[in-house]
Amino acid sequence: MCSTYLGIMPVKGESLIGSMIKLKWLRENMLELPEEPSQEQLDAHCRAYILGLIGGVLMECMSLRSPSFNQSCD
């Protein structure tokens, strides 16, 4: 699935554990785009960016919230 949606496959057991991709791997492998990316490269980069947002910002924010989830995450 990673190969299909990101255009590159992380190493199993190292950067891919079960169905989880390490955010460090995403940053190291998906951060830069060529000067004139193809549509496929652009799509893969956008998907990786969204995964990074979900895993690095939104999930971190959720883990900082109280169990009541009444606090906002600033």
Q: Average pLDDT, whole number, for the chain?
A: 75
CA distance 41 to 45: 6
Domain total in the chain: 1
CA 7, CA 38: separation in Å to the nearest integer? Answer: 12
pLDDT band at 42 (very low <50, low <70, confident <90, very high): very high
pLDDT of residue 70: 43
The arithmetic mean of pLDDT across residues 24-35, rounded, is: 81
Determine the pLDDT at residue 37: 92
Q: Tokens at residue 17, please?
A: 């554990």
Q: Is residue 34 part of a domain?
A: no
Whether residue 18 is contained in a domain is answered as yes
In a domain, 60, yes or no: no
pTM of the model: 0.62
Domain-embedded: residue 16: yes
Whether the per-residue pLDDT at 73 is higher than 50: the answer is: no
Burial tier of 23 (Cβ tally within 10 Å: 0-12, 13-18, 19+)? middle
Collect all residues with Cβ–Cβ distance below 8 Å to 38 and sequence separation of at least 6.
Answer: none
Domain-located, residue 5:
yes
Q: Is 19 a domain residue?
A: yes
Which helix (H) or strand (E) segment is 17 a member of? Answer: strand 16-17
Mean pLDDT value of segment 7-21 = 77
